[in-house]
Each structure stands twice: as structure tokens, then as C-alpha cells.
Chains A and B, each alone.
Chain A
């Protein structure tokens, strides 16, 4: 006997599909608006649009402050990624391989920065830095970002390690490889994509972050902080252009990292 498969009714299914399509439109139409406006010729944002133009993109490359902020963002993200990998991969390893008192509590507390609004993390670090006389710089932003990127790295690598069949490591030891050789030749290749994927995620997240950086920025703006200050002087078409580039690049990076983090079933 063929059992009834769970499918919504025809009508329900169509209604859901329509609803989902509308939601996707809702999620992506604003991004499309940003992209379209970035190619609009007119210096003020008025509908209907005037002619197609690349001039705002051209202006980006002559804006020294903007270029410097992009470079700063790369510096920050470039520090956050290795820092969180260096701390996060061994931490995931420790969580996977060892049991210790308070482990469950630690696993929960570690995730708190993901739920706490960024401004809290930012001001908390600001207070500590000023009290200890630590000068604000790109390094302070880097530390701020590492606090919420670290749990993301740990979650991803930990999840991959838990699925990894540990008898493969035993097989390697059994075949004469030392523990160090086993790590490099067996363990690492099997968690490599999780590490790369979370590194890319960390890169994009740090690159786009504004709330923590808001509190920890001294003189050197990151790109989102630069955009933030541009917004205070009103909307300019350059923002649309730089926003378009940022979002498109982010989405590409996200798709790559999701592919890497995906597990073959």
C-alpha cells in the first residue's frame, strides 16, 4: 500500500508559493532599487529615473577618503580572519575532543555576542580600552569584530569535526603517521572547507560591520563608518554606487562560503 505523502493541498501549495515569491520580491526588490539608482544620471534621487550613467562609479575612484576607508576595512577584516581562525579552530578542536566541567555553559556563553546588539559589545570594549589606556585604532575594531566572528568560526568547525569519523585518525596512526602528521594529512583536509567557508563569512561580516566599529573607531574610518558619516550629510549617489559594489561582492562571497560549508549528504 502506498502511504499518503505529506503534501499541502493544491490550493494551499499555490497560495504558499505565491506568498513565498512575494517574500523573495520583498527581500530583493530593495537591493534592486539600490543597484538601479546607482546607475542613475541625476545627482538628486528623483523618480522617474533619468539616463543610465556610470559616473558615480567613476567618482568613487577619485575619492581619497573612501578608498582609504576601503583599505582600512580590508586591514581590519584581514586581521580578524587569521585571529579568529587561530583562536577558533583549536577551540573547536578542544570542544570536540575533550569533556570538562562547565563545557555546556561555556558553549552557551560563547554564543552570547551573536545575540547581544553590536553597540553593547562596542561600548563595553570602549569602556575597557579607555580605562586601561589602550588607544583606539584599527586594532581595537579588529578585537571588537573578533568577538562575534569567533563563535561563528567555532560553530562551523565544531559541527564539521563532530561529523568527522575519528576512526580515520586512528587508521592514520595505525599506519605509522604521528599525531602531527595525522592532523595535517587527514584531519585538516577533511575540515578544510569548513575553515575556508567560515573565514569567508568572517571576512564579509567584519567588512560590513558598523555598530561595534561605531564605538571603537578613532581617526581611521572603515568603509561602513565612512558611509555612515556620508549619510549624515544626506544621501548622495556615490553611496548607491559603493553600496551596490559592496552588496554584490558580499552576496558572491556568501554563496561561495555557503557552498564550502554545505555538507555532502
Chain B
């Protein structure tokens, strides 16, 4: 089936800045796709290329099988929820939502019933006569959503729509948006810099950096198997160990880190003995025990000194330093640790174990 949107090697530059570079991306019917990345990574520009506020320098944007590069925003059957909501301050909530119907000169009766239905749906039926300035942040958010959905677009673009809300409301709205998308059956392209938000809501996530697509995959894929160190770091990996491949074969490889510490990991086919690599491991995957092994012993196990214990309520973070000055961070739920974290003393020696299946290796 024809994808709802297809970007075909799209590039966009602003003077010296290459905002989007040769981006190719498809969004399927009914899919929730998130563009994730730090600010300035090109995710908002990508959204604006689809909505028509920017025109690509190279490549093409195809919406429902039609090349739309020459079409202005008002001729594209795509709607946007803006970061600042962009509600019209001189119009009531009702007139804001009715705006696109009135532009299209729909009959009054139709406008009234469709707008009322939509306001009912977002739970703002009683606010129809209010001005936007009289609404709370969450209510404005809903009006912006209702206004964008009134035309029943097949694709909705959302530019950090929850950015202005507080943490609690944000979480509630995340689920609400996801359910709404599932019920409507339309495609969402959602822009955010919040990795947790992306993981919670999306069917697929496109991670972007410096205008390039870094990885495209399901939340589980990008979290468990980041394609490169950037994605790994952006999705919360804190531990990066520089080393060299000492041996590789039979699905395994051995990496030498400083001072005799070696790590075994699953083999990466493209890497051979002698390659300089970066080994990463998530803080949650590190296993600790209190007995001091003295010297690096069995594969992936080595001693370290505890530097700091940070209690975050749900989590405990332990900052460690092993031989050669390698810093490591481990995390765990307080109850799941094999020891009582309250009894830990900075300076004490511990044994660190990195499970081979948790170690990911990238060329450096």
C-alpha cells in the first residue's frame, strides 16, 4: 500500500546550516511515528517540509502518492498542532475550531454540529464561548488538537505539543494522544526531544542528529540495539569504554580495555582484530557484588572503587571508578540490588560484571 508520506532524499539548508541531509523516510497508514533528537537536529524542519512551510532544496516530499513540493501549506491535506498552540487570540474556542470549515465555506448547520462534536470529544463542550486566553495550558492543547482534527486529515503533525505542560499533565496527555490516534486510525508524526515520550507513544521512532537520520525502528529496537554511539547515548546509555579488538570469532569477540581489563561481547561482523572500538553498556545492566576480586578475573569481571551513591527515590545510581581511571555508572532499583545501598561507603571496593549480551560494540 502507498505510504501516507514519503520523503525521498530530501535536503534543506538555511544559509550555512544543513538542517536536513538526504533524508528518506516513509510513514504508513495509521502509524505513530516520532522524530526524536536534540534541538537543532532537523526534526522540526522535517515536519515543516511535510506541512509545506519549507520547500526542499533537493529531493521530494510525496503525500498520498502526490509530489507536493510546489503545493503551499493550504493545499496539503495535512494538519499541524503547533508547539505554542498558535490559537487565534481574537476568536473564541468555537471559532478557532470552526476556522478551517468556515474557510471552506461549509454550511452553518454543518459547522455547528461538527465543531460541537469535536469539542465534546476533547472534553471542552462547555468552553465553546471562551476566549483562548481564559484557558489553562492543557485546555489550550486540546483546542489546538480539535482545531487540527476537524478536517479529518489523514496525517497529523505534532511539534512538541506537550512541551509547555507540567510533568504530571504531560504523562496523562501522552496516553490520551496515543489512544486518540489509535481510535481515529490516522497517522501521527510527532516531534520531541524527550526520549521517554518517544518510547511511550510511538510505533516507530526516527532518531535524528545534525540533519541526518541515525536510526529508524520500533522503540524496543532503538532502545535495545542502538545503531551507533549517538543513539545509544541519546537513549540513556552512560557508559562508554574505549578499547581494541584482541580476538574475534565464533560469534564472540574479546576487547582489551586499559590495564588488563578485557570484555567479551557478541561479535559484530564488520569488526576484526586490531580495530579500535567503543564498547557501551547501560547502567541498569551492570551487575555488582560486594566481594573484592582483587584483580581482573573471569571475563567481563573486574574491581572498581565506589565514588558516590546517588539516591533518586525509585532508582539508586552508583558512580564507580575502575583501574586506569575508567568511570562507570550503575543503576538499580533499591530493592533489586544484591546489597543494602544504605550501607555502602564511598571508597569501598566492589566487583563489577558486564554481561556479554549487554555489551554493544561500535567502531571508533
Contact = CB atoms under 8 A, between A and B. Distances in A.
So, do A and B actually touch in the complex, CB under 8 Å?
yes
A172 B79 CA distance: 10
B86 A171 contact: yes
B51 interface: yes
A5 interface: no
A50 interface: no
A138 B100 CA distance: 47
Contacts of B84: 165, 167
B74 interface: yes
Chain A contact surface mostly? helix
Interface in A151-190: 165, 167-168, 170-179, 181, 185-186, 189-190
Contacts of B87: 168, 171
Nearest to A192: B90
A171 B78 CA distance: 11
B59 interface: no
B143 to A, nearest CB: 11
Contacts of A186: 88
B53 interface: yes
A174 B81 CA distance: 9
A262 to B, nearest CB: 16
Contacts of A190: 89-90
Interface range, A side: 10 to 19
B215 interface: no
A170 B73 contact: yes
B103 A171 contact: no
B151 A176 contact: yes
A171 B74 contact: no
A215 to B, nearest CB: 44
Contacts of A173: 52-53, 72-74
Nearest to A186: B88
Nearest to A164: B89
B45 interface: no
A170 B82 contact: yes
B86 A175 contact: no
Nearest to A182: B74
B168 interface: no
Contact of A168 (B72, B88, B104): B88
A176 B151 CA distance: 10
Nearest to B97: A175
A186 B96 CA distance: 11
A171 B80 contact: yes
Interface in B59-113: 72-74, 78-80, 82-84, 86-90, 99-100, 103-104
Contacts, number: 64
Contacts of B151: 175-176
Given A165-B86, A170-B53, A170-B86, A176 B80 contact: no
B349 interface: no
B193 interface: no
Contacts of B72: 173, 178-179
A186 B103 CA distance: 12
Interface in A50-83: none
A165 B104 CA distance: 24
A64 to B, nearest CB: 47
Interface string B193-228: 000000000000000000000000000000000000
B147 interface: yes
Contacts of A168: 86-89
Nearest to B147: A175
Contacts of B148: 174-175
A174 B51 CA distance: 7
Nearest to B150: A175
A174 B80 contact: yes
Contacts of A185: 99, 103
A172 to B, nearest CB: 7
Nearest to A173: B73
Contact of B100 (A175, A178, A189): A175
B99 A174 contact: no
Q: Which of A165, A174, A189 has the most CB of B within 10 A?
A: A174
A236 to B, nearest CB: 50
A175 B99 contact: yes
Contacts of A167: 82-84, 86
B104 A176 contact: yes
A31 to B, nearest CB: 37
A181 B53 CA distance: 17
A34 to B, nearest CB: 41
A171 B145 CA distance: 12
A44 to B, nearest CB: 56
B357 to A, nearest CB: 47
Q: Which of A173, A178, A181 has the most CB of B within 10 A?
A: A173
A176 B88 contact: no
Interface string A190-232: 1000000000000000000000000000000000000000000
A177 B86 contact: no
Nearest to A169: B86
Contacts of A171: 80, 82, 86-88, 147
A175 B84 CA distance: 16
Given A168-B88, A173-B74, 7 more contacts: A173-B53, A173-B72, A174-B148, A175-B100, A178-B74, A179-B74, A181-B103
The 9 nearest A-B residue pairs measured at CB: A175-B100, A171-B86, A167-B86, A173-B73, A189-B90, A177-B103, A174-B80, A176-B100, A168-B86
17 contacts: A167-B83, A168-B86, A170-B51, A170-B82, A171-B147, A173-B72, A174-B51, A174-B74, A174-B78, A175-B103, A175-B147, A175-B148, A177-B99, A179-B72, A179-B74, A186-B88, A190-B89
